[in-house]
Amino acid sequence: MTVPLVSVIIPCRDAGATLRRCLESVYAQTHPRLEVVVVDNGSGDDSVNIVEGLAARHDTPLTLAHCPVPGANNARNQGFGLARGDYIQWLDTDDTIHPHKVALQVNALERHGSATVAYGDWRWRFPLSGHDWRSQAQAIVSGSTAVAYGVRRWVLSSTPSRHLERRLRLAQFDDFLLRLLQDMWLPPNAYLLHRSVAERLHGIEAFHPRRRVAMDREYISLAAVLGAEFLHVPGAWADYFTWRPDQLSRTVPVAERGRELADIFTRLHVIATRPGAPALTDAHHFLLQQDWGLWSLTTPFPGPPPREGPREQWDEAILATLRHNPRSRLLEGHAKVVAHHIPALWERHLEILQALHRLAAAGALRTAPGVSP
């Protein structure tokens, strides 16, 4: 029986600080058939020298390409065009994968038969440095909203260097699309895709060339609306690092982020409602058509006082949370703040978002000036 070939595709731009660690994690894989495709996207540092130096010391085939068009998605698309693998592993230069990750996921997909995308467990890691590392850690623990739902316990580690991390052990989710639409996010290196899925996504430019935010969210959500079957593989660990303050698209203004997400979700909705697409529930339809404008709390609240009932009590708790977090946000962003501050609503994103839409319709929230809801 032929061992499947796995293509590890790595877009690269000025990644000298992290690239060596990333590539060494690929070379450490126990799966016996790998190829590496690195696409340099105009690096001005020593990234290319690092790639060439490591490639010379390892037997794993490596292709180094140069993408003249700026943008990580352009590099990713070019990299896929060069990949020959039966399976595709996307990997950013910031991140790493554990030695058995690829082998576990390939074996699981080969045994399962119908599944075409594997996902594993992952660690979200924040390197700490300098004399103020304790204050850095405190800011992460107290200020981090629900970027990824799951265990909220933080672990301080000093191996191999001091960092703070969350370990997210997942499970098999029957409705993976619903999780993705709620932004119950996994980093792209947590997945392994069968080539047939990656080819279909490449054909519709799932890595949109002009996208500035939520690039991997769009890509994997499109896989789900196209009917890919997702399989959880326990122990197939991936590490996602937050190294820089701009890593989570924080430099993109929130209003622009909303417009980008509105475009992404319109695209998802069009594909999801085509004949032959997987059946959608009311929850799917609601999330696909959610509002992506900027909203802030109306003060004072113009409506009648909340009545005594479960729904009204949650509404009041949500409004109280927003009073202490008054910044204008997307409703999805408000929902994450609420989840972070109200333990009983953790991982209940859909219910929070439905409440926020209801409160906006009642006038308790108002659109930010100059931004259309």
User: For 143-198, how does the pLDDT look when each residue is reduced to its tens digit (9 = 90+)?
Assistant: 766 667 788 888 898 777 888 999 999 999 999 999 999 999 899 999 999 999 99
More confident residue, 325 or 220: 220
In this structure, is residue 1 part of a structural domain? no
What is the 8-class DSSP label of residue 173?
Answer: -
Q: Which pair of tokens denotes residue 274?
A: 């085509």
Q: What angle do CA 11, 292, 331 make, to 5 degrees?
A: 105
198 belongs to a structural domain: yes
pLDDT, residue 301, reads 57
Tell me the C-alpha distance between 1 and 98, whole Å.
25
**Burial 227-258, CB ≥16 within 10 A → b, else e:** ebbbbbbeebbbbbbbeeeeeeeeeeebbebb
**Is position 178 within any domain?**
yes
At what angle are helices 215-225 and 195-203 packed, to 10 degrees? 110
| 337 and 240 in a common domain | no
CATH number, domain at 31? Answer: 3.90.550.10
Same domain, 94 and 209: yes
Is there a single domain that holds both residue 13 and residue 63? yes
My answer on whether 233 and 347 are in the same domain is no
Note the residue count of the chain.
373
209 belongs to a structural domain: yes
Rounded CA separation 330/338 (Å)? 13
Flag whether 141 is in a domain: no
Q: Is residue 96 domain-shared with residue 206, that is, in the same domain? A: yes
- Tell me, what amino acid is at 219? Y
Task: Write the CA distances from 242 to 16, 114, 140, 246, 250, integer angstroms.
Answer: 16, 34, 11, 9, 12
The pLDDT value given to residue 141: 82
Which of 244, 263, 282 corresponds to the end of one domain?
A: 263
Q: Give the pLDDT of residue 373.
A: 39
pTM for the model stands at 0.93
Query: Around Cβ 259, how many Cβ atoms within 10 Å?
Result: 16
Share of the chain above pLDDT 70, in %: 92
**For the chain, what is the mean pLDDT?**
91
**223 shares a domain with 324:** no
Number of domains observed in the structure of the chain: 2
Burial of 63 (C-beta count, 10 Å sphere; 0-12/13-18/19+): middle
Domain stops at, among 225, 248, 263: 263
Same domain flag for 186 and 59: yes
Are 87 and 202 found together in one domain? Answer: yes
**Same domain for 348 and 242:** no
Tens digits of residue pLDDT in 85-143: 999 999 999 999 999 999 999 999 999 989 999 999 999 998 898 888 888 888 888 77
Range of the domain at 211: 6-121+169-263
Q: Is the same domain home to 250 and 297? A: no
Over residues 234-249, mean pLDDT:
77
Domain annotation covers residue 276: no
What's the order of all strands across the beta sheet hosting 329-330? 329-330, 294-297, 365-367
Instruction: Assess whether pLDDT exceeds 80 at residue 57.
Output: yes
